[in-house]
Amino acid sequence: MKEFDLIARYFSRPAPDGFLGVGDDCALLPLTPGLQLAVSTDLLVEGVHFLPDTDPRALGHKALAVNLSDLAAMGARPLACVLSLSLPRVNADWLQAFSCGFYALADRTGCPLVGGDTTRSLTGIVINVTVLGEVDPARALRRASAQIGDDIWVTGTLGAAHIALSLLQHRLPADKALLEATRPALDTPDPPLQFAQTLAGVAHAALDISDGLVQDLGHILRASKCGAELHYDALPLARGLSDLAPGVQRDAVLRGGDVYQLCFTAPVGLRARILELARGAGTHVSRIGRIQAETGLRIKDADGADIVVPQGGFDHFA
């Protein structure tokens, strides 16, 4: 199959009215006056970000989901996306499944695929997605906006993707039921886009958890020049994790990456409002701690004793 046949067959679904999509030198997008463009890009490399035998439909979903997660973290609304693919060979079944997974999420989230690039790879598969979104700059959820006294919240649950990856890489003893319970979080993350847009102008600071709660919350704390206390017992443990050894569970919940849920801070007076917004969007939220003036992160168990965790989370060059 030639390059242009491949694009025509798998990546040329029509763009919505008012957009110029795949087929010209650039895509053209209608913009809402008064809003700013939110742009984010993520690279997925075979062997680094996904295992070589990953289900291609799930991979298509995930390639877009990890980017939509960044839009969610800013409180932005998706506008469109572009997809660049570098492939060692043309595998029709792989392309069919990958593009179906990608388009299914693009359709569901109103984020049309409007362009990209396709090349041959001399190594493994490389996937790059760039998302474009819109947000009111006065309402965007920045990392530097946490205020002393804010509640700290997270959406969804923590730890499942980390446990699924540990099982797949044989770093934990085989456990079929646990893998079944945790694998969807790793393969098909579902960032809370709708809820995130309602948080814009309501929450103070936010980011998406990609490299682990402790490391990612650390970005908010440094950017906002403050510290925090977390209550371990308030952290939303993913299904199936409660029977794990305490050390394994803590590592998954506090340091596990690939979460693609939000961590955000908001004034104490907005608790009821946030619960109402979450209910309206069908998103699960948990209040997990408090922003404090003293820098650094303190994690407390149910008795108020300190839980010590090694610093850091995932780092490509560590």
Residues of this chain that bind Mg ion (CB under 5 A): 117
Does the footprint of ligand ADP cover residue 118 (CB under 6 A)? Answer: yes
Tell me which of ligand ADP, Mg ion, none is bound by residue 7, counting a contact when its beta carbon lies within the kind-specific cut-off of 5 to 8 angstroms: ligand ADP
Q: Residue 295: count other Cβ atoms within 10 Å of its Cβ.
A: 11
Distance of closest approach, residue 12 Cβ to ligand ADP, in angstroms = 7
Among 17, 25, 93, 315, binds ligand ADP (CB under 6 A): 25
Distance of closest approach, residue 140 Cβ to ligand ADP, in angstroms = 28
Among 56, 60, 75, 115, binds ligand ADP (CB under 6 A): 115
Closer to ligand ADP by CB, 83 or 140: give it.
83
Give the residue from 199, 197, 215, 217 showing the smallest Cα distance to 152: 217
Query: In the block, which residue shows the tokens 């109103």?
Result: 110
Closer to ligand ADP by CB, 25 or 53: give it.
25
Among 113, 154, 186, 228, binds ligand ADP (CB under 6 A): 113
Among 72, 80, 81, 83, binds ligand ADP (CB under 6 A): 83
Among 14, 16, 23, 296, binds ligand ADP (CB under 6 A): 23
Distance of closest approach, residue 95 Cβ to ligand ADP, in angstroms = 10
Closer to ligand ADP by CB, 63 or 244: give it.
63
Distance between CA 184 and CA 317 in Å, rounded?
27
Q: How many residues does the chain have?
A: 318
Give the residue from 207, 66, 28, 37 showing the smallest Cα distance to 135: 37
Tell me the helix, strand and coil percentages in the chain, rounded to 5: 35, 25, 40
Does the footprint of ligand ADP cover residue 11 (CB under 6 A)? Answer: yes
Cα 164 vs. chain centroid, distance in angstroms?
A: 16
Does the footprint of ligand ADP cover residue 58 (CB under 6 A)? Answer: no
Distance of closest approach, residue 227 Cβ to Mg ion, in angstroms = 47
Query: In the block, which residue shows the tokens 């003036």?
Result: 293
Give the nearest residue (CB) to Mg ion: 117
For residue 195 the two structure tokens come to: 């809820």
Beta pairing, strands 206-208 & 77-87:
unpaired
Element counts in the chain: helices (H) and strands (E):
9, 10
What is the C-alpha R_g of the chain? 20
Does the footprint of ligand ADP cover residue 102 (CB under 6 A)? Answer: no
Distance of closest approach, residue 226 Cβ to ligand ADP, in angstroms = 42
Does the footprint of ligand ADP cover residue 22 (CB under 6 A)? Answer: yes
Does the footprint of ligand ADP cover residue 94 (CB under 6 A)? Answer: no
Closer to Mg ion by CB, 25 or 303: give it.
25
Does the footprint of ligand ADP cover residue 116 (CB under 6 A)? Answer: yes
Distance of closest approach, residue 260 Cβ to ligand ADP, in angstroms = 22
Query: Residues 6 or more apart from 310 whose CB is under 8 A from it?
Result: 255
Greatest alpha-carbon span in the chain:
64
Does the footprint of ligand ADP cover residue 98 (CB under 6 A)? Answer: no
Which 3-state string (H, E, C) describes 182-245? HHHHHHCCCCCHHHHHHHCCCCCEEEECCCCHHHHHHHHHHHHCCEEEEEHHHCCECCCCCCCC
Does the footprint of ligand ADP cover residue 181 (CB under 6 A)? Answer: no
Chain positions contacting ligand ADP, by CB under 6 A? 7, 11, 22-25, 83, 85, 113, 115-118
